[in-house]
Amino acid sequence: MLDLKAVVIDGEIDRALLRDVIGRTDEALARFDWQGMTRPRLVEGQIGLDARAMGGAILPLYGHFAPKHELFLKPLET
C-alpha cells in the first residue's frame, strides 16, 4: 500500500488533454472509500516532453537508496 500526499501526472501530451485526464482520474478517485487513508492530490506536472526520461533516470537512485520493500512484507507461509 502506498500512502501518498500527491500524484504528479505528466508526459508528452496536449495540456488540455492532460487536464481532462487529471479531472477524470479525480472523479474516479472520488468514488473510492478513503476511510483510514489520505486521498492524494492530483497535480499537473510541468516537465512535459522529458517526463518519461526523467522518471526513468530516477530508478537507479531509487534502487540504491530507497528502503527495501521486502522489509515491509510479511513472508508467505507455505
User: What does each of the 78 residues of the chain score in pLDDT, given as a tens digit?
Assistant: 677 889 989 888 899 999 999 999 999 999 999 998 889 999 999 888 888 888 788 878 777 777 766 655 556 565
How many helices (H) does the chain have, and how many strands (E)? 2, 2
Q: Answer whether 22's CB lies under 8 Å from 42's CB.
A: yes
- What is residue 4's predicted lDDT score, i.e. its pLDDT? 81
Q: Which helix (H) or strand (E) holds 56?
A: helix 51-65
Give the pLDDT confidence of 41-63 residue by residue, as tens digits. Answer: 999 998 888 888 887 888 787 77
- What is residue 47's predicted lDDT score, i.e. its pLDDT? 87
Strand partners, 61: none
Report the Cα–Cα distance between both ends of the chain, in Å, rounded: 23
